[in-house]
Chains A and B, each alone.
Chain A
Amino acid sequence: MELLLWAIILLVVLIVVILLLVFWGIYNRIIRSENRIDNAWAQIDVQLKRRADLIPNLMESVKGYMKHERGTLESVTNARAAIMSAKSPQEANNANNMLTGALKTLFAVAESYPDLKANQNFLQLQDELTHTEDKISFARQHFNDSVLSYNNTIETFPGNFFAHRMGKKAREMLQIPEASREVPKVAF
């Protein structure tokens, strides 16, 4: 009889320990994937800033050639200003899409300026800007991947059980424009 009692106590202790370990694991997983989202956002921010920093140089190098394209140049400058003053992820994201559009127009217009196209400095900036644009779209993709995996963790069993008590709510993904999902084609 006494043996049975001990066996039951041992079993209960074992179950409690296992439950604690499971709780520990899930808790850490939730916190870790939350941190990953924050870090992923910081990454986008870094790339957005870097891209915005490249714009003044670009303006400097095209200014002399594209005197008659004031509208195009202004829309680039305005989009850059919008990135610098953005307050939320979605706002910065929208401003960045604006900049992408404005730059696309600028590079298309540049096609009709042979002198500009032969300028080494301009070519280098164009490479650099394309690269930053790619980095931004992959950083956004990673952000959304991180949000998806976080949401899956806290919305499926057993994560949902704990997430509810921890007051964790599903995060929102960034809306990515269709165009940026296409693979950028740079010939080299």
Chain B
Amino acid sequence: MDKQMLLEDHIRKNKLDTVLICMFMVVLLFSVIFAIGYILGLPPIFAMAIGLPISLLYLGVTYSFSVQSVIAASGARPANPQVREEKLLINKVEEMSIAAGLPMPTVYVQDSHDINAFATGKKPEKAIICATTGAIQKLNSEELEGVIGHEMSHIQNRDILVATVTVAVVGTIALLAEIAIRSLFFGGGRGNKRDNGGAIILIIALVFIILAPIFSRLTYLAISRRREYLADANGAYLTRNPEGLALALEKIKNDLPDDPKGSKTVASLYIANPFKREIRNSIWSTHPPLDERIRRLRSM
């Protein structure tokens, strides 16, 4: 019982962190809109009236197409229950969905020698879990269970929603910054009519807009790494066996990446970044370093 409480504490702390980071994202988006308004000499309300619809439209479009584009980019196909290996994958997914008390997700298989897996779908009712053929062949039952438990936790914690929305916010901020900088180049704004104090604020606003896309990207990456730790802890809670996932991550670490498929924007959905192996702790990574994840799993 002690062990479980420990895991629940992990989960609670991670959730709180994510909420704080998400609030920071929203504040950042609003600040960017205000800063642009200031530079272009628009009243704040007017800036919001233009900025918000653009943001919401962009968010909405990204959001609606997220699931199809992830599946299309990965080239995944539905799992075939007639093949014994794929039937065993379907069984594992069913077991984990029972452990989590969630509806059974649709199971997909991606042809790739890499050991990897991802979850997608905005609602738990329409979730998809996809594993690579490499994962099915190279992982044993215990390890595969750990990986599926991790993916099931992404669904349970609505991480796909968080990831989709944050990616969309990052895109929106980049888009707005681009528009602002371009319109300044074409002579818009009220820069010339300013006194000294106004000029300083203008420069600050400009620097802020140039840095905002980088800020938002770093924030998104921080969220992504948090959610990975959270899914590891939650997955271990579902399987009651942190060692299974730890062993799977070790196999992933020692397995060289090969023919990565899919789009880089969804790299954070995978259990391990399909494009590179995280070795060091870096603010530019979508995933925490594998060694650190293994260490945390083993200390549970």
Contact = CB atoms under 8 A, between A and B. Distances in A.
A187 B140 contact: yes
Contacts of A138: 95-96, 98-99
Size category of the A interface is: 20 to 34
A142 B238 CA distance: 8
A187 B141 contact: yes
A134 interface: yes
A135 B85 contact: no
Contact of A146 (B85, B101, B239): B101
Interface stretch (A8-16, A20-28, A163-171, A178-186): A178-186
A83 interface: no
A188 interface: yes
Nearest to A128: B91
B101 A131 contact: no
Interface string B78-119: 000000110110010011101111000000000000000000
A36 B235 CA distance: 20
Contacts, number: 53
A184 to B, nearest CB: 7
Nearest to B142: A183
Contacts of B88: 127, 186, 188
18 contacts: A43-B98, A131-B91, A134-B91, A134-B95, A138-B98, A138-B99, A139-B98, A139-B99, A142-B98, A142-B99, A142-B101, A146-B101, A183-B141, A183-B142, A183-B240, A183-B244, A185-B141, A188-B141
Interface of A: 36, 39-40, 43, 47, 127, 131, 134-135, 138-139, 141-142, 145-146, 148, 181, 183-188
**Which 3 pairs across A and B sit closest by C-beta, in order of nearness?**
A138-B99, A138-B98, A131-B91
